[in-house]
Amino acid sequence: MVAQTPSTGSGVLVTSSRLKTTYSVAIFLGLIILIASVMRNSERAWYSYLISFFYVVSLALGGLFFTAIQHVTKAGWSVNVRRVAEALTSFLPYAVVGALVLFIGGPKLYEWFHPSEMAKDPLLLHKSGYLNPTFFAIRLLLFFGLWLWFSKVMVGRSLAQDKTGDESLTHKQVGTAIGFLFSFAFSYSFFSVDTLMSLEPHWFSTIFGVYCFAGLFQSTMAFMILTILYLKKKGKLVGYVNENHLHDLGKFMFAFTVFWAYIAFSQYMLIWYANMPEETFFYLPRLSPGWVCVSIALLLFKFIVPFLALLPRWAKRTPAHLAVISVLILIMQYVDIYWLSYPKLNGEKAIFGLPEVGGILFFGGLFLYAVSRFFSMNSVVAERDPRVHESMHHHVI
């Protein structure tokens, strides 16, 4: 693809009426369903809220993580796709409110919210210094405060550079990105433990945070690819993004497909090998007749199928093929979070219905609104980044 002038194919994205209708209806219906679910079966409604909330927060943080590693490595190839990652972070202000609402539902989700339950369980009592509502709220505020600050600084500088062209802003990003990566490694691990693993507070895993991170980055690559293809269809990114950029994003997605499988196998194998009751009870319901199909589906459709489908070189350079695999990965990311959480709610069988649909619609619609609003206010490409021309001439050998 011949590189065009920096004014071609970029600029802001005018949100179509169809997209506006889609996310508006999704937010409205999702909210109504969630409220009705809380009135009918509050515990299940809060589980639906939790997994959908965790899903979209992970996508937003995945965009911030991708942005940070590009600045740390001073990558030139990714400049023209980096704005898509930056757009994902626009959900974080809404996520702060979502975290406060999640705290309200804490008593329905976490047994350690109840002092009476803690008092009669020696193990929970031993963990009470960490697992208690006050410290949980402090951690939530700290984590989201950090993530929001880093996103405002890094994305803010990128947007400011669109107006000023000041190259020093790019150099300032390196130190900030390094600081984010260090804080992210700890904060996201603790966030995963706090919100998901503590649903079963007797269980523990030293690599649970890494497991969640693997799914975060795999699904972020999938969402970025779909967004880029959508923008190209709308006439944006012409002359900026070509099959070579898709190839590299596809390689990232392929790599983290393998990494997720590696971490999942490592966690399972070590627990199976040790065969300790305090660890194996996590997997017992997930291998029962009511849940084993979900477990097998994860193995097949989050690892084996994407692995084989992304293995050839052409697969990572073919938009239609990449789109199908990206959709599959995004679906299976939800299934994965569901698999981590719902056996605690119902260990006999997998359940899925209106409460879960409500969570998906509400948070999915809100996420699409945040991202589309970002693109309607900012250029889809960091046009005045000093490495933009390097990205325009990017070629994968």
> Residue 341 has what pLDDT?
97
Whether the per-residue pLDDT at 379 is higher than 50: the answer is yes
For 3-50, write each residue's pLDDT tens digit: 344 445 678 888 899 999 999 999 999 999 999 999 999 999 999 999
Q: Which amino acid, 109?
A: L
pLDDT (mean) for 323-338: 98
pLDDT (mean) for 363-370: 98
> Residue 180 has what pLDDT?
98
With beta carbons less than 8 A apart as the criterion, state whether 67 and 89 touch. yes
For 235-252, write each residue's pLDDT tens digit: 999 889 999 999 999 999
DSSP annotation string for 234-252: TT-STTT--HHHHHHHHHH
Alpha helical stretches, state H, the chain: 17-40, 42-72, 79-88, 92-104, 106-109, 115-119, 122-126, 133-164, 168-195, 208-233, 243-274, 277-280, 292-298, 305-310, 319-345, 354-377, 388-392
> Residue 9 has what pLDDT?
63
Q: Average pLDDT of the chain?
A: 94
Better-predicted residue by pLDDT, 277 or 214 = 214
The span from the CA of 116 to the CA of 61, in Å, is 35
351 backbone φψ class: left, alpha, beta (φ>0; ψ -120 to 50): beta
| pTM for this predicted structure | 0.95
pLDDT (mean) for 284-304: 97
Measured in residues, the chain has a length of 397
For 261-289, write each residue's pLDDT tens digit: 999 999 999 999 989 888 899 999 999 99
> Residue 1 has what pLDDT?
33
The span from the CA of 275 to the CA of 254, in Å, is 32
Using CA atoms, how far residue 68 sits from 87, 127, 218, in Å, is 13, 34, 16
Provide the greatest CA pair distance for the chain: 70
pLDDT (mean) for 166-189: 96
Better-predicted residue by pLDDT, 116 or 57 = 57
> Residue 2 has what pLDDT?
33
For 116-126, write each residue's pLDDT tens digit: 889 889 999 99
> Residue 238 has what pLDDT?
87
